[in-house]
A and B are shown apart, each in its own frame.
Chain A
C-alpha cells in the first residue's frame, strides 16, 4: 500500500513542480529556517565579555526570587527555630505551621520550592563557570566574574547541605551547543562531606581572586571579605576551629568594623555600612515591579498595616534579651509602639510582635508592594567576631573569645563579660549569637542543630522535634519521584 502511495507521490511531485509558479522558489529550506523572534539564541550567547557580565548579573538578580528568599527560606530557617512562630492569623498559610511544629512531610510544598530555587541559582553559577572560561576577554575581569560565580555556588550549596544534608552535586552544565550525556542526568545524593568539600574549595578559590572592595557603583558584588567570612562560617559548621580563627583574622584585616548604632544597621541608610560584609540587594526600581521583587520583608511586615505578618517573634526571644540590651527594640517591633521613624504600629495588629529587621518606614515607596527596598543582611562583621569567639573558645583561647564577645556586647549597650569557664563561655557565645543575629539571616535553627542541642531547646518550646530526624528536612517527595528513586529520603521521613 505504502509503495503505491509513494510512487503516486513521486509522479505528483513532477506535476507539482510544474504547477509551482515563481514564488515557490522561496519555499526552500531557507524559507523554513526561522529564527526565534525577539529572543536571543543560546548559540549566540556566552560570546562577548558583555555576555559574561549579563550572566553573572542574573546570579545576583536570582537572589531575590520568592523560592530563595521568601516563604520557603523563612519557614525552613526561622519558623522552625525558637525565635519565631508562623505569625499572621491562624489558618493563613497553615502549611507553615508544619515547620513550627515539626510535622513536616516530604510533600510539603515549600521544600520543593526551596530545593528548586537553590538549584536554579546553582545552574546560573554553573552556566558561568562552564561557559565564561571560553570567552575571549580581559583576563582579570574574567577571573573575578568566575570567582563571583564560585562564591554563589558555594552559598547555595551551603543552604542546601544545611537543610537537606548531602545533595546531588552538579558542578558543570553542557557548553552551549552541546548535548548532555543522559547518564549524568540523574545524579544521586553526594555525602554532606563531599558537598562541604566543594563549598570550601569554591570559597577558597573565590577568596583568592575577589577584590576587597568595589567602586560605589558596583556595590553589592561579592567581595573577598564575603568569601572569607562565608568560608569561616562553613568551617564553623565543620568544627574546624583553627580555620575559623584564621579566616576571621583575615576578614578583620580587610578593615571591617562594628558600627556604633545597632538599629541603623537594618535601615535603608545603613546598607553597606562599615560592618556589612554581604547583603542581598533589593530596591524599588521605578516603573519596573517585576525586578522589584524581593518579598523577604513584605511577608514579615506588620499585618494589615504594611505586610503579611508572618514570622512572629516569640516571647522566648523577647526574654532572651538582657536588661538594657539595645538590640531588643531594634529586633522586635511591638504592636502599639512608635518607631524612631514615627510610624505608630497598629495597636490592633493581629500579632503582638513583628520582625523589626524587616521593617521599612511608611514613608518609603510601596509602589511595587511593601518593603521592596529592604536588603537582606547575609553576613556582617559582628557575626565574624562571634564566630572567632566561638572557635577561639573551643581552641582554649579564652582571651580572644572574651574580647570578641565583648566587642559585640558593649556595642549593644551591655556590660562586658569579665571571665567564664570554657563551658560557660560557649553558652554565652551561643546566646550572644542568638540575640545579635535573631530574625536576620536564618541561622538560628541550623545553629541549634550544629550545636547539638536542637532537640533540647526546641522540645522545651513545645515543638514536636524528633532527635535523629528533624535535624534535616525531608528530601522533597517530588524530587524522589522524578529521580525514580535514585534520590533517597532522609532518616525518619
Chain B
C-alpha cells in the first residue's frame, strides 16, 4: 500500500502508554521473510516509549524492555510488525516486504512515489553509490551513473562540474538543471558533502519535471539529505586520505624543438637551438594531497528524530599554491508534536576557504616558450625580453605573485509544518532559505618580476557578495483508496524571492606586513574606488498534480503548474506548464500470470511542457551603461559618462520545452536482470538566444530574444544484473548507454546563421547555430591538404599562400576561398555517453569498478588555433609538421599565421574518451576485531579515481564544456586528476 507520501521515512508508531513493571533484556535477529537475509539497520522500538535499537550488520539487536511490552519493527520497504514480548528474552522476526512496493522509493517533486508507480523517467542514485565515489562534489559523483546525464568534470578544487540532462536544453546561460535540496532551490551542490545525501533523483522527462514548471527546462536534480530514524543512535565516521596527480599531461616542444619551429616560421635563425629548456607544465604541476573526514550521528525516539553531521575536506590543487578547505555541518530534527502535527527543520552549513590561482595559468603554461628559464642566473625570473619571442608571462612568476584568497559561508535550510486532517488530507507549509556570503581578497604587491609582469603600485581588491533567497511553499495532499482505485491529489502554491548583491573595493598602496594589514582604508585614499551591483528576481506559482492508479495496473500522472517570473514583462509573464504521464504495468495483467519470462513489465509514456527561467533578469528593460571607461577626462579629472549601448527585444516571452517520452521497464530472472529503455523527443521552442547585431548599430553586446527552436532526440538504455551466488559471493553489473542528437529546427530570422564562439586573434567566430545542424556546430574550411610547392599554389584558389600552408576546399568551385566555402566541420554536442558500473562482494571483500565515457563528440583545439605570435607548440605538431615538399599533407608548416589560423577542420578533433572512473577495493574487518574496538562495523578501502583516461585529442583533457552556443572550444581547462585514496568507514 502506498501510504508513505511526502516523507521519505515516516514513523508508523502508535501511542499506547505502557508502564514498566519488570524490565528484561530482549535480543534477537531480524531477517527477510523470503530470503532469510539479515536486515541491517532495522528499527526496533518499545511501543509507547523512547527506547529503541537498530539491528547490526547481521540483523541482530539487543535492548531493554518491559516484560509485558510490545516491540515494533520498522524497515523501509517492509511491513511494520508489532510483537508482544510476553516475557521472552529472544525474539526473532521475519519481516515481509510491503507487498505493494518493489522496494524502491523515488523522490518526486513535492512527494515520494514508489518506482513502480512512476510514469515518467526518473533516475535515482542512492547514498551507497555516492559514498563509494570519493568525490568531493555530489554532481561529479554522478558521472557515468545515470543514462542521459552528461557531466563535464573539472579538476579545480571546489568548482562545480557542468551537467547536461538529455542534451543542451537551452541556449543562453549555463543550461544547468534546477537543483532542489530538501525542497529548497539552489544553484549548485558544491556546498553539500556527498556523505550527507540520502539520494539524488534526476527528473529527466518533462512529465516528471513539469511540477517545477518554469525552472525545469534543463531537468531537475532533487537531493534528499539524510534524516534521522527512531532507534538507537548510530555514529559513523567516513574518511579518506589520498594523493592526486595529473594524468595525460600534454607534451609541448622543448627549447630545441621550439627554437627550430620559430626559426622555420620566421625563415631565419632567431633563436639558437641549444638553450636550456623549461617544461612549464612540470614546473607548475605537483602531486597534491587530499583528505576528507566526516562524522555523523543519527537516531531518535518516536517523537523526535535527528541527524547531524560535520565534515572537513582539505584538497590541494594540482597547481602549486592552489588549495581548498571545506567545512560542512548539518543538523536535522523532526518533531512529532501529536498524532496529526509534525514539524521539522533541516540546516546545512558550509564554509570554504581557498587559495586561488590565476584563471589562465594553464593557458600561460601552454603558450610560454620553453626557452624562457624559470629563473635567471642572477635569481630573477626568466624574462621574455631576453628572447626575441614576444610578450609572455612567466607562469612561475604569475603563481608566485598571485595572492588571492576566497572564502565564504552558506546556510541552506528548510523548516516545515505538516498537519494531517480528515484522515486523508495532509497540509504542509515549508519555508526554505538560502543565505550565503562569498568574499575574496586579492593583493597584487608592488613588484617588478619581469618586463611584462610588474606593478608600480600595489593594488588591494576586496569583494563581498551576498545571496539571499526565500522560498515559501504550501501543499495540500489528498490520498485515498477506493476499492481498486488509488488516488492522490496534490495542490500547492509557491512564492520566491532571489536576491544578490556585491560590493567590490579597490585601493592602491596598502602596505603589506601581514594578511592582517590588508584593509582598504589603509591604502591611498585618493585611489579608493568602489564597484557594486545586484540582482533580484521574484516568482509566484500555483501547481497541482493527480496520481491515479487502477488495479495497480493502469497509472496516470497529470500535473499543471501556473508560473510567473519577474524576468518577463507584464502580459507575458504568466504561463501554464501542463504534463501527463500514463503507465501500464503489464505484469499485473491476468494474461501475464502464465508466463515465466518477465518478472516485471511496464510501459509508460509521458508528455509535458516546461519553462526556462534560466535567463538574466531584466533583459526586457533598457538599462544605462555606466562603465568607468566611458568617463571623460578633462584637465586630469575624470567625469563619469553614461549611455545606452544595448537594446531590448521587441517582445520577450517564455522559452518553452515540450517533451515526449516513452519508456519500457522489464525484469527477468527474479528481477536479477532489469532493463529500462526510454525514447524521448525534447523540443525547446523560442529559445532565448543571443544574437550578434549588425556592427553599424553600435551596440555593446548581443541582442537577446526568442530567436531559435531546437530539438534533442535520443534514447537511453539501462541494464542491471544482480546476482547473489552464495552467502559469500555476490556481484552486480550495471550498464547505461545514451544517445542524443541535437538539431536546430527553426530560427526566428529567416535563413539566419547565429555566430558565437569567438577566437580572439582573428576575431573569428567558430560556432554557428543554424537550421538543420546541431546547436553551436563548428564552422570553417575543410582542409584538402597542404601546399607542397609554388606550382600548386599558382593553380589554386589561394594565390597568396605559401608552401606549407593549408589548401582549403573550394566548395563552390569559384576559385576564391571565402565564407561561402565554409562548412560544418564538427559537432560539440556529445552523441553517446555511457557508463559501466560493477561491484563484487566476496566474504569480507568488496570491489567496485566503474567505467565511463563519451563518444561521437568533437572538440575545437583553440589552443592550437589561437596564436598571436610565437606561442609554444605541442609536440604532436612538431613531430608531424610540414617541413618541405612531401613531408606532410595534413599538418601545416610552423608558420601558423594568416589564413592558416582561419577556422578549419584541422583544429577539430575527436573528443571521445573512455575512463576508469573508479576502482575501489574494500575489506570489512572481522566482527571479533570490530567488537573489541567497540564498533559495529569497520571497513577499510583503497580507491583509485580516474586512474586512466584514454583519448586521442591533442590537449590536456577532452572534457571541455562551455556555454551551449560556444561549447567544446578548448582554450585550456583545469584537467581532472587521478586520485589515490585510502579510506575508512566506521560505524559505532
Q: A: which residues have CB within 8 A of B? A: 1-2, 5-6, 8-9, 12-13, 15-16, 19-21, 23-24, 26-27, 29, 31-43, 45, 51, 53-62, 64-65, 88-95, 97-98, 103, 105-110, 112-113, 115-116, 119-124, 126-127, 167-168, 170, 176-177, 179-180, 182, 185-187, 216-221, 281-283, 285-288, 290-291, 293, 303-305, 308, 350, 365-367, 476-484
Contacts and interface: CB of A to CB of B under 8 A. Distances in A.
A107 B764 contact: yes
B628 interface: yes
3 cross-chain pairs, A with B, having the tightest CB-CB distances, nearest first: A123-B698, A287-B527, A109-B763
Contacts of B869: 88-89, 91-94
B645 interface: yes
Contact of A293 (B493, B540, B629): B629
Interface in B528-547: 528-529, 532-540, 542, 544, 546
A53 to B, nearest CB: 8
Given A42-B624, A286-B508, A481-B819, A107 B902 contact: yes
A121 B544 CA distance: 53
B597 interface: no
B566 to A, nearest CB: 4
Nearest to B502: A38
Interface stretch (B384-392, B830-838, B852-860, B918-926): B384-392
B566 A32 contact: yes
B435 to A, nearest CB: 17
B870 A89 contact: yes
A15 B475 CA distance: 11
B422 interface: no
A483 B457 contact: no
Interface string B651-694: 00000000000000000000000000000000000000000111
B934 interface: no
Given A34-B538, A218-B634, A220-B635, A103 B391 contact: no
Interface centre among A123, A177, A218, A479 (most CB of B within 10 A): A123
Contacts of A304: 385, 451
A155 to B, nearest CB: 14
Given A89-B270, A126-B698, A288-B529, 13 more contacts: A8-B546, A9-B560, A33-B566, A53-B639, A58-B632, A91-B266, A91-B390, A116-B698, A120-B698, A187-B696, A218-B635, A219-B635, A365-B457
A420 B544 CA distance: 95
A50 to B, nearest CB: 9
A91 B456 contact: no
Interface centre among B262, B491, B867 (most CB of A within 10 A): B491
A186 B694 contact: yes
A48 to B, nearest CB: 11
Interface stretch (B118-126, B151-159, B234-242, B615-623): B615-623
B697 A290 contact: no
Interface residues of B, number: 116
A61 B566 contact: no
B580 interface: yes
A396 B389 CA distance: 53
Given A1-B580, A288-B638, A482-B694, A124 B643 contact: yes
Contacts of B762: 95, 107-109
14 contacts: A9-B576, A16-B492, A39-B624, A54-B641, A55-B641, A55-B642, A57-B630, A58-B630, A120-B700, A167-B696, A185-B694, A217-B634, A308-B391, A367-B508
A39 B632 contact: no
Contacts of B576: 6, 9
Contact of B533 (A6, A37, A41, A282): A37
B527 A286 contact: yes
A32 B562 CA distance: 14
B695 A476 contact: yes
A113 B641 CA distance: 22
Contact of B544 (A9, A55, A478, A480): A9
B645 A60 contact: no
Nearest to A37: B534
B621 A36 contact: yes
A36 B618 contact: yes
Contacts of A308: 391
Contacts of A293: 629
B570 A29 contact: yes
Nearest to A11: B544
A282 to B, nearest CB: 7
B558 A5 contact: yes
B839 interface: no
A124 B763 contact: no
Contacts, number: 339
A54 B492 CA distance: 49
B501 interface: yes
Contact of A127 (B388, B389, B632, B644): B644
Contacts of B818: 106, 477
B185 interface: no
B385 A119 contact: no
A307 to B, nearest CB: 10
A288 B454 CA distance: 17
Contact of B800 (A103, A126, A365, A480): A103
Nearest to B869: A92
Contacts of A113: 763
A123 B573 CA distance: 31
A265 B118 CA distance: 81
Contacts of B492: 16, 19
A24 B632 CA distance: 48
B385 A303 contact: yes
Contacts of A61: 629-633, 641
A25 B643 CA distance: 38
A12 B763 CA distance: 54
Given A21-B474, A89-B390, A366-B456, A60 B698 contact: no
B570 A38 contact: no
Given A29-B570, A287-B506, A281 B632 contact: yes
Interface stretch (B245-253, B285-293, B747-755): B747-755
Given A29-B570, A107-B764, A287-B507, A40 B624 contact: yes
B535 A285 contact: no
B630 A176 contact: no
B495 interface: yes
Contacts of A41: 621-624
B898 A40 contact: no
Interface string B578-622: 101000000000000000000000000000000000000110011
B627 interface: yes
Given A1-B580, A91-B262, A285-B638, A31 B763 contact: no
Interface in B733-753: 751-753
Contact of B761 (A58, A89, A109): A109
A61 B899 CA distance: 35
A94 B493 CA distance: 61
B476 interface: yes
A15 B632 contact: no
Contacts of A116: 695, 698
A19 B645 contact: no
A281 B642 contact: no
B378 interface: no
B965 to A, nearest CB: 15
A19 B560 contact: no
Contacts of B544: 8-9, 12, 16
B100 interface: no
A27 B495 contact: yes
B765 interface: yes
Nearest to A112: B763
Contacts of B626: 39-40
Contact of A34 (B566, B578, B800): B566
Nearest to A349: B385
Contacts of A89: 270, 388-390, 869-870
B633 A291 contact: yes
A51 B642 contact: yes
Contact of A93 (B388, B476, B868): B868
